[in-house]
Structure formats: structure tokens, C-alpha cells
Amino acid sequence: MASHIVGYPRMGPKRELKFALESFWDKKSSAEDLQKVSADLRASIWKQMAAAGIKYIPSNTFAYYDQVLDTTAMLGAVPTRYGWTGGEIGFDTYFSMGRGNASVPAMEMTKWFDTNYHFIVPELGPDVNFTYASHKAVNEYKEAKALGVDTVPVLVGPVTYLLLSKPAKGVDPSFDLLTLLPKVISVYKEVVSDLKAAGASWIQFDEPTLVLDLESHKLQAFTAAYSELASTLSGLNVIVETYFADVPAEAYKTLTSLPGVSGFGFDLIRGAKTVDLIKGGFPTGKYLFAGIVDGRNIWANDLTASLITLNGLEDIVGKDKLVVSTSCSLLHTAVDLVNETKLDNEIKSWLAFAAQKVVEVNALAKALSDQKDEAFFSSNAAAQASRKSSPRVTNEAVQKAAAALKGSEHRRATNVSSRLDAQQKKLNLPVLPTTTIGSFPQTVELRRVRREYKANKISEEEYVTAIKEEIRKVVELQEQLDIDVLVHGEPERNDMVEYFGEQLSGFAFTVNGWVQSYGSRCVKPPIIYGDVSRPKPMTVFWSSTAQGMTKRPMKGMLTGPVTILNWSFVRNDQPRSETCYQIALAIKDEVEDLEKAGITVIQIDEAALREGLPLRKSGQAHYLDWAVHSFRITNVGVQDTTQIHTHMCYSHFNDIIHSIIDMDADVITIENSRSDEKLLRVFRDGVKYGAGIGPGVYDIHSPRIPPTEEIADRVNKMLAVLETNILWVNPDCGLKTRKYGEVNPALTNMVEATKLIRNQLASGK
């Protein structure tokens, strides 16, 4: 019985690629240095999977930024503003598309389906000249082959690539991107021919858009694409891989009828209903790549239950055609549990990171081949039983409090218009108030202080003194810049979710459980293993300290319950909604303590609310109901004069705008600039928004400093569709990833642009 891995984490067990990328971007190392680090990581990954007995090992899943940007480079679909004139695409052009540069902005970045991973959105139009411009796929295949490892090259499928793209600026928004399919397929043919010539016997196309609710003409595009590719694919074994949800019945028919395809991959964790479709009919002689090991969470697989499922599938497709696989790429989980030295043994026994999941896949494959490792299965069963019976998982008081929430919508008693009036009387803010989203640059010195405090190398008194000094600097800077509503800069936090999780019960933490979010950005998701509660206040001391340094309003900064949920590895033994309600009650306690401490503006970030939206429409209303309800629970008890902000970023919001309104926040700051201001279209289309709103005026994920005139132009576009009295001016997101040399001039220009518009409004121009 064969085994298969859809994809693997690329940052390295100790974030080696992250540091190599940042060193290269800072011009502290060469391209050759970066390539050496990445080659060493790839070699280690391939050898590890080969040693574990995996038959179908992926290659070309190692991206320097993301796999969609890799595909854009492969197709030579470079927007003209980057000045690419042809030839093999190098790092300068590649990273300019992903990050921008001093003269041009980056391409839009958005979430990869319903994950916290991001991709760079292709910008296409009828005049794009597709050309084979990056040979990365074949180069990596040859690289692995030279190491004695025969891999399965992985490509983003041609239809998924087009469906994830957008019309370029200046192209009619109604332009049908699928009309570009023949041009795109011609390049894919060249790539496939190259891989065949290099000796590849298998190739994998990732087509995850097949799990979406697609219209018939989009499904027909898959048939057209693979029919056109069929002759080129002849002689190769071809996998079409799907993941993240059930495949709809019509899409299943389309997929399993594709010409030239040898096998089909399905996510049987988030798409368990697909098993029913397989039982209803699976094409004779085709391979089933059964994604039975969860690629998106860190819980050890229930091997006994999985084996039962696999035995049932084996009866349908045949012993020689069933391949045990991961549900999706392991990119979305942490790298190796071996590196976790501080997790206690009980919780550690419940977990499996990417390296352990590779072992699980192979153990299941061997069990199906009558080579079951009884000791391994027995140990796994003991861990499953331990987790179910452990007293540390359950807190009856928390469960009762969450159950008592049912029956109320938890809405503030006064409407938002009246609340804004009461808040303005207290805050006395100018027209177009300016603010930032929360974090300020995380300097080397600041990181050193936090690191030394955690390692007990400095005392708590020394730590508090250092953090207070950092807050003072951030407050003074904002006052000098003349920003209206201040933040304390979050110097005590390495990560917004990790910081809160460390102070809530029911959470566990890793030392090296890093997961890539985008580019070199990595996060370390907490593990929610049990019922959640707040033992004591979490932010009140720092927010009160910061407010004491200024007469201007100081925002209390919290992460909302839905974002904490979606950015954690969540327990899978109860509905996610139940866990979210528990977190909401903990944040509610914190909000009310902040208000008692005199904090009059409180931001409860829900950056990941849209991210958790189910991919299929049938599940979306239920999710939005409990997610929005959870947010309202956090602030239902505050006074009208306390202003509640929330923040969202880097997702598509237009389709959930009514749910955003239903959150009933007083002010929302939301990403806008990097996505070509498409958020504003919803207001142009007539949606009325009565609360305060701050669409971002510049992209903080690029080192580029936007000029004053550009920001003023963005604000004027906002004023064309939004009332003056509700508009705020702010960046797209927090500033922690930027340097002060970038932040200071960018915020200076933002404030100058705002004052320019205020003067124009005052003079009636």
C-alpha cells in the first residue's frame, strides 16, 4: 500500500528560511546564500520523507513567497509596472511582486482559501503575454533526483490559477479570466514536457477550487483544460488534488471524468462527506489518494478509526489503487514535535506535527499492507484515551457559563448613531480622526528584552521598566506626529494571539511550533486543548500605564474571540462555536476591566473573521451567526461612551458586509489599499454604513513609503462614498513588521494628507 504527502512546511524546523529571506532582503547576504539555505532545507525534507517510507514525495512545493506567485512567475504573468523585459524571472522581479519596492507597490495579497496562509493575487487581462519564464518546477525535480529521491512535481492547476486571479487595473472588471485558459495551457504544456524529459513519472495538479460552489461554465473549464493537456500528459501518471472541504456532487462528476488523469486526491477530514460520493461510484482503474491524516491541525490521528475508513475505501477502489495521504499540504501545521522541549508529556502525547504526520501516513499504509505496527497503534490508542478522559480538558463552570449564553443576541441597548454622538462629546475628536492599528516596529532590542525575560536572565522589574520606556517612546512619537487616537505599540507582545493564549486557561504553547503566514512571516499558533477562561486581567496594566502618559485617547488592544479561535490549533472534540463562546466570555471580562480602568476606546481585533468562513455557501450563514454573536458578547456590557473598535485585514469582505454591520462595532478599521480599494465598491453599490470606518490608506506589508498626495487621493475616493463624520484615516494593518525608518515618514505623510483634506473640507472645496 502506497503513501503520499500533498506538501510540506518550507520554513524549516527553526525558521531557517525566514532568517535567510530577511537577511537577503536587508542586503546582508547574497542570492547564493539564500539558495544554499533553501537547497539544504529541501534536501532534508526529501530525505526525511524517503526514510519514512513515503512513496509519493512532493517537489516544487518549496516557495520563497507562495506557490501562486511561483505560478505567476512560471507563466511570465508579470504586471508591466515591475519592468520585467523577459528571460528567467529572478529574485528582484519575484520579490517586487510579492513585497513591492521603493518605486512600485506590491500586488494584492489575500488569504489562501479559509487558512491563515496568504498568496499574491495574479493580475491578468486579455493582453498578458504568457511565456515560460521560471523553470523552478523542473529544476527542483532534478535537484531531488540528484539526491536519489524520485519526487512528484506539484503545480497549481491551470483552472484554479485563473479562478484565483483578478482582472488587472484598467481591465474591465467583468472580463472572464477563463478565456485566457488556452494561452495558459500552452505554457503548462511546456512545463509538463520539461518534467517528462527530466524523468518524472508522476505529476500533481492542485485544483482546490473544485471544492467551491462553481457555476457550470467553470466546471466545464476543468474538462477543457485537461482535455487540451491530455496528449502532453500521455505517459505520465497524473494526480488532481483537492482539499479544505467536501467536493460538491457535480464537481466530483467533473473531476473523476477528467481525461488523462490517473488519480484523485480528497480531503477526508474537512470533506468527510466526499466518502459518500466515492461509495456512490469511483472510476475503475483510477487511484484514490485518501487524505485521512489532518494537514491543518496538530492532533494525533486516531489510527484505529482511520484504518476502518481506509478498509471501507479499499473495498471500493481496490487494494492496489488506494493511497494513504494527508488531507492537504502540511504547510499549515508545525514542523516537528521533537523540537518541543517544554510541553508536558501528557499533552505532547496527544499531538502530531508535520514530521509525525508523515510517520502516521506510512503507518496506516503499512497496516493496510498487513504490516501493522502493533506497538505504534497501541501507543496511539492510549494517547486517544488519555485525551478523552483527562480532567484538565473540562471546566464545568466554563461550560455552564457558555451554555447560559443561548437565548440572547447580546446587543448593546443603544443604536450606533446615538453611541457615536455620546462618544464624540467625550472624546472631542477632529473630522477624519487618525489612528494606527495597534503594533509598532518590533526592534532587535525589544525582542532581546522579551527573550531575556522569558529565559529569566533579567528580573520582572527590569522587564517592566524596559517595556514602559518603549511605550513612552511610541506615545511621544505619535504625539509628535499629531495622531489623534493613540496605541501603546504592543511592545510586550510577540504575537497577538499567542500573547492572550498564554494568559488564558485551556491553552498550551510550543517553543518551535512555527507556521508560515506569508513571505517570511511566521506565527506560532497556541494549542487550545481544553475549556477556556481568564484567570486574571491580561492587558489592563499596560493600557493604563500608556493612558497615563498622554491626554489623548489611548486604545486598549485586544484580540477578538473569532480571531483567537481561527489563529490557534483548536480542539477537535467539540464544535468550534462552543470554544469560541468560551473565549468570548474571557474577552468580555477583559473589556469590562479596561473600561473600569478608564480606557474609553477599546479595539477588539477580528482580523480572521472572514478567514473562517466555510468555503461552501451551505455552511456560511451558521458560521457568521455564531462568529458575529461571539464578537457582540465581548462588549455588550460597556457604556455608550466607551468606543468599541474592531479591525479586519487581507480577505474579501464585500460578500459579508452585512454581517460586519451586524457586529455592531462603533468603528471598524479594515484593509483596503493593497486590494485596489475594492472594499469601496460595496459602498458605491449602495450599502449604507452608519458606524465609524477606516479603510486602510496604505499597505504596511511593503517597505514602500506612500507620498502625501497618494494618501490624500485615497481619502478623497473614500469621501466620495462615505460620510465625512464616520471616516477614519489609518494604515491597512499593524506596523510590527516594518522599521521605524519606514513607519515615521509613512505616518507623517498620512497625517499631512489628512490635514490637507480637513482644510479642503473646511474651506468648502
Active site residues: 701
Q: Measured between alpha carbons, how far is residue 304 from residues 3, 23, 148 in Å?
A: 17, 46, 34
Q: State yes or no: 521 annotated in a binding site.
A: yes
Q: Where are the alpha helices (DSSP H) in 26-153?
A: 31-51, 67-74, 91-99, 136-146
DSSP code of residue 439: B
Cα–Cα distance for residue pair 399/388, rounded to 1 Å: 16
Chain-centre distance for alpha carbon 734? 15
Q: State yes or no: 490 annotated in a binding site.
A: yes
Chain-centre distance for alpha carbon 701? 14
In DSSP notation, 632-656 reads: HHHHTTS-TTSEEEEEE-SS--GGG
Question: 592 with 567: CB under 8 angstroms?
Answer: no
Q: State yes or no: 484 annotated in a binding site.
A: no
Beta bridge partners of 265: 241, 289
* C-alpha cell read off for 29: 547576504
Cα–Cα distance for residue pair 351/342, rounded to 1 Å: 14
The shares of helix, strand and coil residues in the chain, as percent rounded to the nearest 5, are: 45, 15, 40
Q: State yes or no: 522 annotated in a binding site.
A: yes
Q: State yes or no: 18 annotated in a binding site.
A: yes
* C-alpha cell read off for 299: 492532533
Q: State yes or no: 605 annotated in a binding site.
A: yes
3-class secondary structure, 351: strand
Residues recorded for the chain:
765
* C-alpha cell read off for 571: 480542539
What stretch of H or E contains 333? none
3-class secondary structure, 738: coil
Q: State yes or no: 438 annotated in a binding site.
A: yes
Cα–Cα distance for residue pair 202/122, rounded to 1 Å: 27
Q: State yes or no: 134 annotated in a binding site.
A: no
Nearest to 713 by CA among 651, 661, 760: 760
Q: State yes or no: 439 annotated in a binding site.
A: yes
Is the Cα dihedral 240, 243, 246, 251 positive or negative? negative
Q: Looking up cell 528567467, which residue turns up?
A: 88
Q: Which residues of 328-354 are buried (b: 16+ CB within 10 A; e: fewer)?
A: bbbbbbbbbbebbeebeeebbbbbbbb
Beta bridge partners of 151: 57
Binding-site residue numbers for Zn(2+) are 647, 649, 658, 662, 671, 733
Binding site listing for 5-methyltetrahydropteroyltri-L-glutamate: 18, 116, 521-522, 567
Q: From the annotation, which residues make up the binding site for L-methionine?
A: 437-439, 490, 605
Annotated binding site: 18, 116, 437-439, 490, 521-522, 567, 605, 647, 649, 658, 662, 671, 733
